[in-house]
Amino acid sequence: MPEHYDVIIIGGGVIGSMVARFLSRYHLEILLIEKEADIGMGASSANSAIVHAGYDPAPFTLKAKMNVAAQPMWDALAGELNFPFERRGDYVVAIGNEELSSLDKLIEQGKQNGVPGMHLVSGDEMRRREPNINPKVSGAVWAPTGGICDPFAVTVAAAENAVQNGVKVMLETAFEGFLMEGKRIVGIRTNRGLFGCRWVVNAAGLHSDWVMHQAGVRPEFQITPRRGEYFVLDRAEITINNVLFPVPSAAGKGILVTTTVHGNTIIGPNAQIIHDREDRSVTTAGLDEVLKGAQKLVPSMGVRHVIALFAGNRAMGNAPCETSGVNYTGDFIIEIPQEVQGLVNLGGIESPGLTSAPAIAQRVVDLLRDSGEILKEKRRWNPIRPPRPRFRNLTHAEQARVVSEDPAFGRVICRCEMVTEGEILAEIRAPIPARTYDAIKRRTWLGTGRCLGGFDLPRVVDLLSRELGVSPFEITKRGKGSEYLLRETKTVEE
């Protein structure tokens, strides 16, 4: 008899984690499975980190509805889950007079979607607000509700809070197929065996089409992965203090220049259709394209400012918008389909998926309730995921205090980003333990500075090996097969 759950969530990205967190409020036995060695390893940790105001999605689409519904939820969510979030507003910037007309259209679209507070800013005012901006700026749309966050921190905070409230998370656990009784889902097959359940939530992101096809749902639905390449700039060299979008085109929101909650500027993404869903390589052509796009907004930006490269793959789907009269394909799927029983189907959740995550999670709760599931609130549900101190954000007096309380906070492991052993140990011992270098990197921001881990890597490998009680040869970058070290110096196999 396999382990049995009320709900199994497939996929530990921001959507799966947020759904787990929202469902953890109710008396349900919940399992979240993730095929990788850590949660949030897909698009959730490689995107623009923007909490969109909501003027961009086509009116009446699910994308527009979810974006605008989620927007006001972020302040409370950030407060409860303690992740970095700043509602600093964003700009869509028109360069030259011919782009000015697009701004009016955006404001109009924002009004239709229900985005509050948008208005035009003159070119002069824009030059004053962002001194680095292209002097040919002719005007901009200001959307005060736009925000920035650390998207991985959002994912891990939501998942940890779910674990605090009883959800079980299994990593390196890959979905292989459904167990059906007639039209009813009764469980799933994984590389770690069978698990019984009454409900499955498909939050498989890039692979959500394949998962729903296994249940016989929407055979025509297909994900076309679109890779976006990004470049992180050295904050000591160039700093942009705002979130700047170009005017959108048919290809999407375009290449933006944005500040991050870590104080760096990032530029990107481009949009390249790829075939291998796991292909997250960066290309020379991509760098040129992104840099050119960014220079349209900030001409002084140069290749010499780049300190890190990354790429993320967006799960672009082909689902038609369900609002009659709206001609749009590529909308979100958020449904309990009729063809089978026991599936909550989420698909095509690309941008603004991160922004929409809390609204999507709330909608999953509502869909379950509407389908007759009795959701009884736990009396002791705890919405607060406690913060963990970040040494670099403390004053010297506070630093002295944490070092006296926990000696490990005195040992700096990452110089550039000022991350201490105490912080790393806390992540290794957290509700969802960080067991790989990348897992620690995403949680602490270690190794993301100018030396890109050259100094900290041997020290982190050593720490992980000691703390996990395994040999350093078993320590990996991102799970099995990505070991850093292969043998002892003096042991030669001929």
Partner 1 sequence: MALKEKYDVVVIGSGPGGLAAAIAAKQNGAEDVLIIERDVELGGILLQCIHNGFGVEILKQDLPGPSYAQRFINDALALGVNVLLDTMVIDITPGRRIFATSRGAFYDIQSRAIVLAMGCRERTRAQVRLPGTRPAGVYTAGTAQRWVNVEGMMPGKRFVILGSGDIGMIMARRLTLEGAKVERVLEVMPFLTGLTRNYVQCLLDYNIPLQLRHTVKSIIGNNRVEAIESIQVDEKWNPIPGTSEIIPCDTLLLSVGLIPENELSRQAGVQLDPNIGGPYVDDNFETSVRGIFAAGNVVHVYDLVDWVSEAGFHAGRSAARFALSERRREVRHVKMIPGENIRYIIPQEIDKQNLEGDDIRLQLRVRTPVESPVYVEVRSQDHLIARKAEPYVRPGEMVTLTLNPKNYDDVNQASELTVAIVKR
Partner 2 sequence: MEETTKIICITCPRGCTVDVTHDGSTVIKTNATCKRGREYVQRELTDPRRMVATSVRVKGGLHPLLPVYTAAPFPKPRLMELMQVLRTIEVTAPVKMGDVILTNALDTGIDIIASRDILPISP
Nearer to partner 1, 100 or 238 (CB): 238
Q: Which member of 249, 284, 395, 489 binds partner 2 (CB under 8 A)? A: 489
Please name the residues in contact with 437: beta carbons below 8 A apart, sequence gap of 6 or more.
Answer: 447, 453, 457, 460, 461, 464, 475, 476, 477, 478, 484
Cis peptide before 131 (omega within 30 of 0): no
Identity of the amino acid at 360: I
In the complex, least distance from residue 485 CB atom to partner 1, rounded to whole angstroms: 5
Nearer to partner 1, 281 or 382 (CB): 281
Piece of 37-45, 303-311, 467-475, 485-493 that binds partner 2 (CB under 8 A): 485-493
Neighbour tally for 274: CB within 10 Å: 15
- Residue 450's binding partner, choosing from partner 2, partner 1, none, with beta-carbon cut-off 5 to 8 A by kind? partner 1
Nearer to partner 2, 250 or 492 (CB): 492
For partner 2, how many residues bind (rule: CB under 8 A)? 3
Residue count of the chain: 494
- Residue 284's binding partner, choosing from partner 2, partner 1, none, with beta-carbon cut-off 5 to 8 A by kind? partner 1
Helix (H), strand (E) at residue 208: helix 208-214
Active site positions, annotated: 52
- Residue 210's binding partner, choosing from partner 1, partner 2, none, with beta-carbon cut-off 5 to 8 A by kind? none
Work out whether strand 168-170 and strand 30-33 pair parallel, antiparallel, or are unpaired.
parallel
In the complex, least distance from residue 476 CB atom to partner 2, rounded to whole angstroms: 22
Q: Does 480 bind partner 1 (CB under 8 A)?
A: yes
- Residue 80's binding partner, choosing from partner 2, partner 1, none, with beta-carbon cut-off 5 to 8 A by kind? none
Separation of alpha carbons 24 and 166, rounded Å:
7
Separation of alpha carbons 425 and 50, rounded Å:
29
Site for partner 2 in 378-397 (CB under 8 A): none
Separation of alpha carbons 256 and 90, rounded Å:
11
In the complex, least distance from residue 494 CB atom to partner 2, rounded to whole angstroms: 10
Nearer to partner 1, 181 or 462 (CB): 462
Site for partner 1 in 417-446 (CB under 8 A): 418, 420-421
Gyration radius from the chain CA atoms: 23
Neighbour tally for 128: CB within 10 Å: 11
Return the C-alpha torsion angle 175, 442, 432, 150, nearest 10: -90
Piece of 112-120, 208-216, 407-415, 486-494 that binds partner 2 (CB under 8 A): 486-494
In the complex, least distance from residue 171 CB atom to partner 1, rounded to whole angstroms: 15
Positive or negative, the CA dihedral 73, 77, 79, 85 is: negative
Nearer to partner 1, 286 or 317 (CB): 286
Task: Provide the mask over 371-400, with x wherever binding to partner 1 is found by CB under 8 A and - wherever it is not.
Answer: -------------------------x--xx
Q: Which residues pair with 228 in a beta bridge?
A: 312
Q: Does 306 bind partner 1 (CB under 8 A)?
A: yes
C-beta contacts of 122-130 below 8 A and 24+ residues apart:
126/91, 126/93, 129/242, 130/91, 130/240, 130/241, 130/242, 130/244
* 30 neighbors 19 (Cβ within 8 angstroms): no
- Residue 170's binding partner, choosing from partner 2, partner 1, none, with beta-carbon cut-off 5 to 8 A by kind? none
Piece of 104-112, 189-197, 381-389, 455-463 that binds partner 1 (CB under 8 A): 455-463
In the complex, least distance from residue 310 CB atom to partner 1, rounded to whole angstroms: 7
Please name the residues in contact with 270: beta carbons below 8 A apart, sequence gap of 6 or more.
Answer: 227, 228, 229, 255, 286, 289, 290, 293
For partner 1, how many residues bind (rule: CB under 8 A)? 60
Q: Does 492 bind partner 2 (CB under 8 A)?
A: yes
Separation of alpha carbons 312 and 269, rounded Å:
9
In the complex, least distance from residue 398 CB atom to partner 1, rounded to whole angstroms: 10
Q: Which member of 301, 412, 440, 463 binds partner 1 (CB under 8 A)? A: 412
Site for partner 2 in 183-242 (CB under 8 A): none
Nearer to partner 2, 273 or 492 (CB): 492
* 94 neighbors 107 (Cβ within 8 angstroms): no
In the complex, least distance from residue 294 CB atom to partner 1, rounded to whole angstroms: 14
Site for partner 1 in 235-294 (CB under 8 A): 236, 278-284, 286-287
- Residue 283's binding partner, choosing from partner 1, partner 2, none, with beta-carbon cut-off 5 to 8 A by kind? partner 1
Neighbour tally for 262: CB within 10 Å: 17
In the complex, least distance from residue 309 CB atom to partner 1, rounded to whole angstroms: 5
Binding-site ranges for partner 2 (CB under 8 A): 489-490, 492
